[in-house]
């Protein structure tokens, strides 16, 4: 783990961030999902698929910067914290908790009182993290992930948390 003197900062994603978000997303997704999702889904998660999805989600995404680089991102759509990934060199530095709080804030700012997210059942590290952050495991969920020819079912657990608050400066 690398130590950074500079505290991570949050900001809305910009179109120019999409390529780096896609790189972080693909790398961290593979770390968290390989061995826990179907070969069909793995085959669909190409660099091009991450690039297209990252570019399309810019309006719903916030990024964390640390040490002069993008450290991770969070995407919130409706009441779902849809994606949260941190670059390997920034894991264990508090970036994930900062991003998760931003996802919660975004859901609350849209008027929802409860946020939810899906975690691949076999991703024990993420499941422990969400539990430490006050999220409740509501049990198994057949999550329908985007696929080339329609949704692909992924064995997940649904986590939920009450959220409150509203807009904050710089968000």
Residue 145 belongs to some domain of the structure: yes
Q: How far apart are CA 110 and CA 79, in angstroms?
A: 8
Query: pLDDT tens, 51-61?
Result: 999 999 999 99
In sequence order, the 6+-apart residues with CB closer than 8 A to the CB of 28 are 72, 85, 86, 87, 88
Q: How many domains does the chain have?
A: 1
Q: How far apart are CA 160 and CA 74, in angstroms?
A: 16
Range of the domain at 72: 9-162
Residue 169 belongs to some domain of the structure: no
CATH number of domain containing 17: 3.40.630.30
Q: Across all residues in the chain, what is the average pLDDT?
A: 90
Q: How far apart are CA 75 and CA 92, in angstroms?
A: 20
Residue 4 belongs to some domain of the structure: no
Q: How many residues does the chain have?
A: 171
At residue 149, the pLDDT reads 79
How many other β-carbons are positioned within 10 Å of the β-carbon of residue 34? 12
At residue 71, the pLDDT reads 96
Q: How far apart are CA 32 and CA 128, in angstroms?
A: 13
At residue 171, the pLDDT reads 39
Q: How far apart are CA 132 and CA 147, in angstroms?
A: 31
Split at pLDDT 50, 70, 90, the class of 1 is: very low
pTM reported for the whole predicted model: 0.88
Query: pLDDT tens, 126-151?
Result: 999 999 999 999 999 999 888 777 88
Q: How far apart are CA 54 and CA 31, in angstroms?
A: 18
Residue 3 belongs to some domain of the structure: no
């Amino acid at each position: 783990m690398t130590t950074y003197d500079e505290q991570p900062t949050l900001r809305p994603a910009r179109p120019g961030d999409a390529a780096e978000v896609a790189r972080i997303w693909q790398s961290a997704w593979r770390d968290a999902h390989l061995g826990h999702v179907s070969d069909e889904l793995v085959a669909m998660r190409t660099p091009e698929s991450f690039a297209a999805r990252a570019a399309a989600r810019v309006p719903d995404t916030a990024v964390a910067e640390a040490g002069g680089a993008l450290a991770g991102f969070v995407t919130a759509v409706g009441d779902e914290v849809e994606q949260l990934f941190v670059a390997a060199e920034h894991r264990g530095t508090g970036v994930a908790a900062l991003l998760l709080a931003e996802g919660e804030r975004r859901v609350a700012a849209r008027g929802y009182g409860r946020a939810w997210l899906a975690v691949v059942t076999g991703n024990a590290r993420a499941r422990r993290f969400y539990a430490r952050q006050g999220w409740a495991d509501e049990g198994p969920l057949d999550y329908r992930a985007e696929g080339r020819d329609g949704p692909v079912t992924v064995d997940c657990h649904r986590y939920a948390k009450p959220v409150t608050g509203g807009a904050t400066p710089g968000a």
